[in-house]
Amino acid sequence: MPRDVFTPDGARAVTAVAPAKINLHLGVGDARPDGFHDLLTVYRAVDMWERVTVSFAGGAAGSGDDDEITVTGPGAPQVPTDRTNLAARAVDLLREEAGSDARIAIRIHKGVPVAGGMAGGSADAAAALVATDRLLGLGLGRAALEERAARLGSDVPFCVRGGTALGTGRGEKLATLLHARAEQHVVVALAAGGLSTPRVFAELDRLRAERAYPEGAERADPEGAEGAEGAERADPEAAARVRAARPLPRAGGVEPLVEALAGDDPAAVAALLANDLEPAALSLRPALRKTLRTGQEAGALHGMVSGSGPTCLFFCSDRDHAIAVAAEISESGVAREVRVTRGPVGGAHIISDDPSGVTGPGVDSTGK
Ligand code: C5P
């Protein structure tokens, strides 16, 4: 390990990017004793990127001056700039491992919605791990970085790896789905404000408990979904009672989806998408129902809440279709902002390693 990497010189700057994730399948088990839920998920990385630059800031960590953390881009004011920031925790972890006390400045540029259910904070941590590993000359391989990533958050290992992967455990155990090459074009509808992931998981637990033991509601035919749809329009209160008498649906196995992802039919893939967190996100943010309806009416193959929400995703047959659906959603005014993206893309990687530390790379808006 070169000695001078531990000498704060205020010069070298390393920049890495990491992608947003979507969950094509998000099956959530019951709460575990550690507070997490067992997941069975199919992650896919999409073409929206967080960009993190780390550089020596001069001075020693813990000397009273915290590392400087600056955040730019959409939603930046909502991102903490103290040690709770996930990118800062990634830097702390590797700095300790390197036995370094160098102060490290962290610059984050947001390209992923904040608290939107697309792992923006996890992508910051993934990019920070990859960049800091290089800055400190640790030379950890991908497997070691993913192990450190799992200590920082359930989605962080996937943001390091990218592509399409099966996630188990609390989401941190990954198996890349090598054959899942089918490209997807997705409209991303951003909502005003965020949703807290722990709150959405807790709401799912609450809804499941309530529906397992509904108060004052007779148990109805659990297959009666169509009846409830019709009743929703005619009598929302009666529809709520029918819903309350049905256990929440649970996403099944992933085999059919994995098979469809190896083919090239976007409609076949769209028909198999599932998100167990959706009812909880809709319960906390009922306005999202209108967003989902608008996307369906605009002709999307499938619409669903992204992870814990409140971002909504609309799956389309190709890029032109996605642009047309995006235009309609945008015009309807149901979303704060609408973007078109595609996946899969790769994982976290370095885009610039600048020994002179000049402000950073010339990158386009995708962060590449
Ligand atoms: O792992 P991460 O820090 O991203 O998780 C944030 C929160 O989301 C957890 O504290 C927990 O409340 C919830 N969570 C969960 N089960 C998971 C992943 C996250 O309950 N598998």
Per residue in 82-124, pLDDT (tens digit) is: 989 999 999 999 999 999 999 999 999 999 999 999 999 999 9
For residues 214-230, give the mean pLDDT: 45
User: Candidates 37, 39, 154, 195: which one to mutate for ligand 1, based on the most atoms within 8 Å of Cβ?
Assistant: 154
Encoded amino acid at 360, one letter: G
**Catalytic residue check, 155:** yes
36 close to ligand 1 (CB < 6 Angstrom): yes
Q: What is the Å distance from ligand 1's center to 251 Cα?
A: 18
The pLDDT confidence band at residue 359, using thresholds 50, 70 and 90, is very low
Of the two residues 213 and 320, the one the predictor is more confident about is 320
Give the integer Cα–Cα distance in Å for 312 and 187: 8
Q: What is the DSSP letter of 61?
A: T
Task: Please give the share of the chain, as a percent, with pLDDT higher than 70.
Answer: 83
170 lines ligand 1 (CB under 6 A): yes
Nearest residue CA, atom 15 of ligand 1? 36
pLDDT on residue 367 = 43
pLDDT confidence of residue 355: 78
CA atoms within 13 A on the CB side of 108: 36
Distance 184 CA to ligand 1 centre (A): 27
Give the residue, out of 112, 124, 158, 170, with the most ligand 1 atoms within 8 A of its beta carbon, to mutate for a pocket test: 170
Which two structure tokens, joined as six digits, stand for 351? 């885009």
Ligand 1: atom nearest CA of 39 is: 21
**Ligand 1 atom, smallest distance to 31 CA:** 20
Q: Which residue has the higher pLDDT, 26 or 61?
A: 26
pLDDT tier for residue 234 given thresholds of 50, 70 and 90: low
Cβ density class 326-340: b for 16+ within 10 Å, e for less: bebbbebebbeebbb
DSSP-based three-state secondary structure for 66: coil
Segment 65-75 mean pLDDT:
86
d(CA 177, CA 191): 30
189 C-alpha vs ligand 1 centroid, how far in Å?
23
pLDDT of residue 356: 72
- Chain segment 323-341, per-residue pLDDT in tens: 999 999 999 999 999 999 9
What pLDDT was estimated at residue 354? 82
> Which two structure tokens, joined as six digits, stand for 319?
């890029």
Q: Which of 21, 38, 84, 197 has most ligand 1 atoms within 8 Å of CB, for mutation? A: 197
Work out the pLDDT band at 156, boundaries 50, 70, 90: very high
Catalytic residue among 47, 124, 133, 155: 155
pTM of the model: 0.88
Is 80 exceeded by the pLDDT of residue 237?
A: no
Question: pLDDT tens for residues 289-299?
Answer: 999 999 999 99
Q: Which pLDDT score is estimated for 213? A: 62
β-bridge mates for residue 50, sequence order: 18
Catalytic-residue membership of 66: no
